[in-house]
Amino acid sequence: MHDLSDLISNDNIIKIRPTETMAGALSKLSTTHDAAFVFSQDDVFLGVINPYYSLIQSSHPGNAKVERCLYHPPKLLITDSVERASQLFMNSRIHYLPVFKDDNQFLGMLSANKLLAAPINSSVFKIKIGEIIKRKNKPLITVYENDQISTAINLFKKHKISKLVVIGKDLKMKGIFSYYDLIHYLITPKERLHQKDGEVNKISFYHQPVKHFSKTAVLTMKPSDSMVDALDLVMERKIGSIVIVNEENYPLHIITKRDFLTLVLKPKLPKPTQITSKNLSQKNKQVVKPFLNELPFFLTKLPGIIKAKVFVKEEKNGGVLRMVLSLIPQKGKAQVVSHEGKNSKEMIKDIVKKIVRHKKGNQT
């Protein structure tokens, strides 16, 4: 266990007053995960202004006063561990958090970059990027280069993300689109955007194609590359993400600081899982295989379960699928969840729901 005493800083804190405007506060930030620290006239810490909570989670206008838009981030104590700090960075989606003494005295700021660069964490990043991609339980979210801005904004809000990989009709990567790139247009009063000053007109803004706003210079890596090298690039280039592509430049996934922070947490070893499959078509293999790869890690969330057995079979006539999952506890009888049907995606959704219900049932 390591505490935060050597990692906190008072340098480069973006400080603002509660009487400033949202537009002024956001102009001092560079990414969706940045934070401006708000202090009273007596230098009492009040909260933060963060683009994610100010614009994605809510819709404060640019002329709103900071005091009406405050977000109260989780507070770190100087005695907290780096593992707890990593968890709070991930939970809050903010990469700059306040650190306090036990008596609520503000001591300084901890940044996600400072934590990730700490020598005590260096060994946990010695893993291939491909292994991290296998553990991801959410697909890569993409947007077509000719899709409208309104489509991209809906994707940002629906999936609670701040970056989209931009693809062309050929499905190859064309760039990356960040919610932060839209901030100027989202907080500027309508009447100013209507002026003939070379800016995009607010009326037509939401109908503009994504390619007019996305960045085409994107840092990419391959699944065979190391997370150590990925972190070095993130720190060196001062960026928040790397797109992972295959040899033909098709995007596979995106690595963000959240993935590095996950590695800092004490990893839970995957539960031993015996998998048997029969007669799966190529189409259903593509759906079922990622779920089976992730299942041993997903089962770490189930207290009391020490291992599992999975049997999945597709009938040759009619394509009926059946999956049976046996959850084996340390004591007592195995608990069985199953599903039968023709839709492999619906089968997996149902199995996951039943596993979650099992977890909730054991917690009550």
Answer yes or no: are the C-beta atoms of 111 and 9 closer than 8 Å: yes
- Tell me what the mean pLDDT of segment 269-273 comes to: 77
- The strands making up 45-49's β-sheet, listed across from edge to edge, are 15-16, 36-39, 45-49
pLDDT tens string 160-177: 888 999 999 999 999 999
In which element (H, E) is residue 227 found?
A: helix 227-237
Partners of 309 in beta bridges: 274, 326
pLDDT tens string 315-347: 876 678 899 999 998 888 888 999 998 888 888
Give the pTM. Answer: 0.68
Residue 17 structure tokens = 């007053």
Average pLDDT taken over every residue of the chain: 86
pLDDT tens string 203-223: 578 889 999 999 999 999 999
Query: For tokens 């720190």, what's the residue?
Result: 235
**Is residue 8 pLDDT above 70, yes or no?**
yes
Domains of the chain and CATH, by start: 15-111 (3.10.580.10), 125-264 (3.10.580.10), 273-363 (3.30.160.100)
Query: For tokens 């009063």, what's the residue?
Result: 189
Which pLDDT score is estimated for 188? 64
Backbone angles phi, psi at 67, to 5 degrees: -60, -20
**Is residue 98 pLDDT above 50, yes or no?**
yes
**Is residue 1 pLDDT above 50, yes or no?**
no
- Tell me what the mean pLDDT of segment 169-198 comes to: 73
- Higher-confidence position of 253 and 300: 253
Answer yes or no: are the C-beta atoms of 104 and 81 closer than 8 Å: no
**Is residue 360 pLDDT above 70, yes or no?**
no
Which pLDDT score is estimated for 121? 64
Which pLDDT score is estimated for 196? 44
